[in-house]
Structure 1
């Protein structure tokens, strides 16, 4: 029987082939907007930029192959935790959770989509790094994760130390690839643009491990019983949304919206709906901003060997 993840990946690949991995879509489920949807815009303490307001829609770059955060579901709709947040942002901005254009982006093209004004903001599992902050401005954090390894269930690999001289699969532009490049120069990386491609390569033994965010790997291991997650987390850092460098108005509005969500405990309530396994919920509860619990970016380099 095909696993749910297999169905999701297949749908994502169809979307990628039909839309060049970067097409816009308004086909996301209105039910993903969360319980805080409003018939009127919400004052988040900062005005929505006039350029966005005049369009009547918020254009967001999201992942389409990264369950449970951003993916294409069995009904060919955008779904996931980050998609729920995007709907809530649209509800705050326009009083309509579907006043939204979702564009599929990857780790390698998301910043260029932003700087070329194809999207208004990036919300695509993007770890904060000082290097990225030189090109774009980051919002306050809304999640956090680290890099671990996905390996076959019968693999003897248990840590990053055992990867020296071996072929490792990763995603181009992702934090995992950046960490391996800087900290394990003798590792031979096989890079892909899409999670589906990387997972296929691992199943075909084209690398001894897949290095990626622990959040994604946990979901993959849950849906693929022949795989397991190993290793201590590396390059752990919060995720932020990205806006164009110097766009103070947009940054102020996004931060105001995120603060409003934190105050109402929106992140936790939506995460519980997206990730229903209670063990996983306990593991990641500390990685969400909640009332009285803030996430902060590191002051030094995030990629430390």
Structure 2
């Protein structure tokens, strides 16, 4: 596991994180089902600046596709959708927060990858996603070869970071921790293009009409799923059963209508992003 862990954080430029997590690899369990119920609140890691998936609105209220799911998990686990503590995480800190027992579940738009699955356990998925590239309409990037000698903006610790680092090491990456910083860098012209989850880019370009998703699907079509710390079989089993129940209810289509469609309009079909067996 440690070899996989070191490989993972190396790929995501988290070498500084190793020392801090050494003592947290096998800490006393603090997030089993019984302990969550005894605590009376489930701690869920979410984004604070990634609309429409996880963000804090102008009134300081957590909103988004992941938040809609988090409320339902709290309701079914603890009987009240308000019995959830939202813990704001960055892309590069999601694994750290699980390993350090700072959260019980990560719902921060977490794409399942083989490297991540070596260090955390993923439950059944709830979204489909691929990488996309957005750029200004007047200098649209429609082919990866067009990124030669240009800067591509990405978030640290994301699948975009890993994908280009591994497959296109000659492309220069400009990396930021927060989504706000990343997209501001594109708006300010600090890079030629930005790569992120296509589901996010579809929403962003509707709010920023000077930009276009010139490449809508790179690499594999992946899935986004809840994640828990390894060694939590009861919690993982409960989550998998919960996801199956939500599939049967078509819950994620309701989630889409409530949280994503206001951002997408009719430009994206629900089945493009919703995973619901």
Higher helix proportion: 2
CA contact (8 A) 1:146 1:233 kept: yes
Cα deviation for residue 247 of structure 1 reads 1.3
Conservation of the 8 A alpha-carbon contact between 1:147 and 1:214:
yes
1:82-119 deviations in Å (ceiling 9; x for gaps): 10000000000111000000001111101111110010
Encode CA deviations 1:261-296: one digit per residue, 9 max, x unaligned: 1111110012111123442441x4243233xxx2xx
The 5 Å alignment of 1:114-125 reads 114-125=98-109
Deviation for aligned residue 1:232: 4.2
**Which segments of structure 1 move beyond 6 Å, counting only runs of 4 or more?**
none
- Counterpart of 1:279 in structure 2 is 266
- Preserved CA contact (<8 Å) 2:107 2:227: yes
Inter-partner Cα distance in structure 2 for 1:225 and 1:232: 16
- Tell me if structure 2 keeps the 8 A contact 1:59–1:120: yes
| Structure 2 partner of 1:288 | 274
1:258 lines up with 2:258 in the alignment: no
Q: Which runs of 5+ in 1 are unaligned?
A: 1-47, 295-305
Deviation string, structure 1 residues 33-90 (Cα, Å, up to 9, x no partner): xxxxxxxxxxxxxxx7111111111100001111111011121110001100000000
Correspondence for 1:135 among 112, 115, 119: 119
Alignment match, 1:10: none
Write the distance in 1 (CA, Å) between the matches of 2:131 and 2:145: 14
Q: Mean Cα displacement is larger for which, 231-240 or 129-138?
A: 231-240
Q: Which residue of 2 aligns with 1:240?
A: 225
Unmatched runs of 5 consecutive residues or more in structure 2: 1-31
- Paired position in structure 2 for 1:190: 174
Are residues 1:92 and 2:76 paired? yes
Q: Matched residue of 2:146: which SS?
A: helix
Deviation at 1:197, TM superposition (A): 0.5
TM-score w.r.t. the length of structure 1 is: 0.77
Please give the residue correspondences for 1:73-88 in structure 2 after superposition, counting only pairs within 5 Å: 73-88=57-72
Superposition pairs of residues 190-209 of structure 1, within 5 angstroms: 190-209=174-193
Residue deviations 1:115-141 (CA, integer Å, cap 9, x gap): 100100110111111100000000011
- Provide, for residues 142-170 of structure 1, a one-character-per-residue CA deviation record: whole Å limited to 9, x for no partner: 10111111111211421223112321100
Q: Which residue of 2 aligns with 1:267?
A: 252
What is the Cα-based RMSD across aligned positions, in Å?
1.3
Tell me how far apart the structure 2 counterparts of residues 99 and 88 of structure 1 sit (CA, whole Å): 10
Q: How many residues align?
A: 243
Deviation at 1:220, TM superposition (A): 1.0
CA distance in 2, matches of 1:100, 1:217: 28
CA contact (8 A) 2:128 2:273 kept: yes
Question: Is the 1:171–1:198 contact (alpha carbons within 8 Å) kept by the matching residues of 2?
Answer: yes
| TM-score with structure 2 setting the length | 0.84
Partner residue in 2 for 1:213: 197
